Structure 1
């Protein structure tokens, strides 16, 4: 028992740091939406927050991987935590909307480094045979942050004000950095020759990613298809507030309650998964999670009442954690850590380009046709795509990518 506790000490510390930062993200999300709306009174200005991150990713993701893979992932994560704390602290001093947007761009740049660096650091720090359990616990922590973060943010705003809330919010990232500082380095950087971040180096690294995609076609297709399916989810989420209020006819209070119920569903699913993670195969986690989550979106898209929307939200919240934990483990087990930063960044670049396209297209279709028909069509297409995706995942000829024996995994990633 003591050995098990010691073995989990390092992953638990990492999980604590990521969880604290996750709560900070959700407090920030509530606060920034409110401060932009108070400043402008414009729904369009608030909607503009959705496109900042994808646009920033398009400008940065093609070179961030080249920076990350040759440097300390832990130090990059620490720096991004400190930068996020600093930039969030500056928001209350912003004199106008343009200044706020400029700060948000800087925050998005920091997060564009954090994502690939944290994915690689987790993969290097957590032993292969512990990844399913770790990713399940991380889903549990993320789901908890989904509930706790907005609750803390709302309470702080009611008890104090937006400025103080943002400064307290910044402290969460400082605490996350402090916890992360206790962890060890995962690489001997002094033995590496770090290339300069030049255009030719970026092109060379991009070629490395293309070579990986050509060599590991199945891994590429599965992960890229997952990102494609999730674009439908993203597109529906963008119009969620409008759809629930204007099409279904619910109030803002109803919507807030639905979000809380979805969070409770996510926490319940993550808690169950964290207990039984090692008894569920990666393929079952991915397929069950995707099909049931998509079913939840279909129920939501064709809902007519608070009760029907609740059923859809609980289902998609509960099973979303299965999908995320499964695909994260699949990705970590099949992408070499030596190029994971570059691969993750390029995949993120492709995803962001399509996110921008989807945001614009869905907004246009909702005005041109109708929001109800648009959301319904997206849900049906997402379900069909999910079925085809599940067939590819369950293909018995590709089982080698999912069900390796524990000792074989240890040898492969030693």
Structure 2
């Protein structure tokens, strides 16, 4: 293989961060509006939770083959295509009224997102030099916090003055602009020397899965750290599926107040990202990875135990502030310990396992909320999350002692070595 890497410039850095920010901004606007539309139509926690089940179901339907495509196709143009597909799909949502049709379109949007995320991470790894990756991830957290901060606030304003469907027009526009800006970025895809490798077959998919399994056996420490971090994200996704229901039925707040409550989390991740970006050169990725998730789960616990908007907002601020550090540590670890030539396949296969767990835990928590107490269901999920964070920290501490977190994957003649 021959890398298509081009000389790194700050202009590319800023432009790529802009495209990420636009995509993320639209996601938050449309997601909040969609949650409220479905809840108002059904007044059912299960119906809202079903929206969150669509994402892992979409991952299951794409990830067994997506990694093979990602590692062999042009990353830049794949990202552009996926941006345009998501924008067009969300635009269609504005004209739908029937719940089944809404679920179908959201499912297709999530399918495109399932392919987009590993494609984007692989592209960033090729574009950004190794020594700049931790700083880039820190600034990426800050840019994404802009969507987290501005998105819910913008959604709240839209809900005050326009119907919720207006959020879909805004979201479609951000995806379109993101795709157009990607045209200005360089092509850094890995180029295959043998064009025959582009002919995809079932045998190729099978061999790719075997290669991922071999990699996981060769570096089990990487597999376990990745797994425990994603387990925390699984529990966060399950708890988040009841966020709107918790706000409406437990805290008894208005739609606009809910939007502003989520904006507090945006402030937290913005402040956390700024601190992270400013001092990232003083912290090791291993420290961020071991400590960040612990505080994220503590914030979720505070949120689950709150009885007032102030208490919930405090929990949101703590968890989002800490999430900036946790994500920077995790993604830097991933980029430095996974060979770029198979990042798409590894991310896709691991995401399949994550999707199964998300479905199981979301169903469990939503059933507990539907048949029992919303607060108890959310509290149970956050306690499990905190326990996972404690285990992850212990693994990271042991890994640091054995130099696992300080060593990197190197690609030599197509093989992976630690």
Is the TM-score greater than 0.5?
Answer: yes
Separation in 1, partners of 2:260, 2:254: 10
Q: Which residues of 2 match residues 7-406 of structure 1 at below 5 A?
A: 7-37=9-39, 44-94=46-96, 96-187=98-189, 189=191, 191-193=193-195, 194-247=197-250, 254-367=257-370, 370-395=373-398, 396-402=400-406
Spell out, residue by residue over 1:231-284, the C-alpha distance to the aligned partner (whole angstroms, 9 max, x if none): 222222222333344445656565444222221111111111111111111111
Q: Which moved more, 1:171-180 or 1:100-109?
A: 100-109
Number of residue-to-residue matches in the alignment: 402
Separation in 2, partners of 1:214, 1:40: 46
1:126, CA displacement in angstroms? 0.6
Ranges in structure 1 where 5+ consecutive residues have no aligned partner: 1-5, 405-411
Separation in 2, partners of 1:269, 1:393: 22
What TM-score does the superposition give when structure 2 sets the normalisation length? 0.88
1:118, CA displacement in angstroms? 0.5
Q: 1:307 to 1:41 in 2, by over 3 A?
A: closer
Q: In structure 1, the residue corresponding to 2:198 is in which secondary structure?
A: coil
Separation in 2, partners of 1:296, 1:42: 26
Q: 1:251 to 1:89 in 2, by over 3 A?
A: closer
Contact 2:239 2:381 (C-alpha < 8 Å) held by counterparts: yes
Ranges in structure 2 where 5+ consecutive residues have no aligned partner: 1-7, 409-415
Separation in 2, partners of 1:307, 1:399: 42
Contact 2:299 2:315 (C-alpha < 8 Å) held by counterparts: yes
Contact 1:137 1:270 (C-alpha < 8 Å) held by counterparts: yes
Q: Which moved more, 1:308-317 or 1:9-18?
A: 308-317
Q: In structure 2, the residue corresponding to 1:191 is in which secondary structure?
A: coil
Q: Which moved more, 1:273-282 or 1:100-109?
A: 100-109
Separation in 2, partners of 1:127, 1:317: 27
2:4 paired residue number: none
Spell out, residue by residue over 1:34-73, the C-alpha distance to the aligned partner (whole angstroms, 9 max, x if none): 4445666665443321111111111111110011111111
1:391, CA displacement in angstroms? 1.5
Q: 1:190 to 1:331 in 2, by over 3 A?
A: closer
1:384, CA displacement in angstroms? 2.7
Q: In structure 2, the residue corresponding to 1:48 is in which secondary structure?
A: helix
Contact 1:54 1:356 (C-alpha < 8 Å) held by counterparts: yes
1:369, CA displacement in angstroms? 5.3
Spell out, residue by residue over 1:355-407, the C-alpha distance to the aligned partner (whole angstroms, 9 max, x if none): 00001111233355544333333333322321221111122433343377xxx
Separation in 1, partners of 2:278, 2:181: 25
